[in-house]
Amino acid sequence: MKTNIQMHTILNMMKYFAANTKYCHLLKMMKLIYLSDVKSLRENDDIISGIQFKKWKKGPVADKLYFDLINNRLWSKWGVKIIKEEFNPNIDESPGFSYYFKFKDNDFNDEWFSENQLKIMKDIVFIYKDIRSEDISDITHEKSTINGYPWFNANDDDFIKFEDYLGKELTEEQKIQYEDIFEYNQRIRENEKSKI
């Protein structure tokens, strides 16, 4: 069960990511929260969201939060729900339905976060702002990547054990892949600026 403090933190993470990234529907939101927690573990030995993730086929998912959102159980108390929309080829990556966020109050409250946590969330936005959820999903599935290791090593439908991830040094390959994500994102931004 999530505490009120946890829910305020999670809600504000969702508001921040929804306002500051493209293509931010349910799958991408789960990945951004997970990636923030992994980055926070690497840098601060703690997680931001305080939620547990399970290993699902499409990557790490905070299953209780996922089902609360899908079933709109958070609207009355927390003011967040999912709007199910038909496929839009201009913004969606694959046919079917997309689940977008609606908030009663869109105002992000940074008081729920330390300076380090805010910096991590800004870094996550910088890296993944323009990347579609399926590409992020691939990143969280690779054993050799900095972010995929915890998911890859969990058993199917088991909780991901972040404590096994603490204190591990990055391999040279993982460092290079992490730098490649920054470079990829920078190229996307430069391409968009040149189109203006």
Q: What is the 3-state secondary structure (H, E, C) of 127-187?
A: HHCCCCHHHHHHHHHCCCCCCCHHHHCCCCCCECCHHHCCCCCCCHHHHHHHHHHHHHHHH
Q: To which residue do tokens 């403090």 refer?
A: 5
Q: To which residue do tokens 């870094």 refer?
A: 123
Can you give the pLDDT at residue 176? Answer: 44
Distance CA 160, CA 27 (A): 17
pTM for the structure as a whole: 0.77
Residue pair 50/6 in contact by the 8 Å Cβ criterion: yes
Can you give the pLDDT at residue 137? Answer: 76
Give me Rg for the CA atoms of the chain. Answer: 16
Residues 6+ apart with CB under 8 A from 103: 14, 15, 18, 79, 80
Can you give the pLDDT at residue 1? Answer: 47
Can you give the pLDDT at residue 114? Answer: 95
Can you give the pLDDT at residue 178? Answer: 46
Task: At 38, list the tokens.
Answer: 């992994």
Can you give the pLDDT at residue 41? Answer: 83
For the chain, give every domain's residue range. Answer: 4-195
pLDDT digits (tens, 9 = 90+) for 98-111: 677 888 888 999 99
Can you give the pLDDT at residue 50? Answer: 87
Which residues, given as ranges, of the chain have pLDDT below 50?
1, 174-179
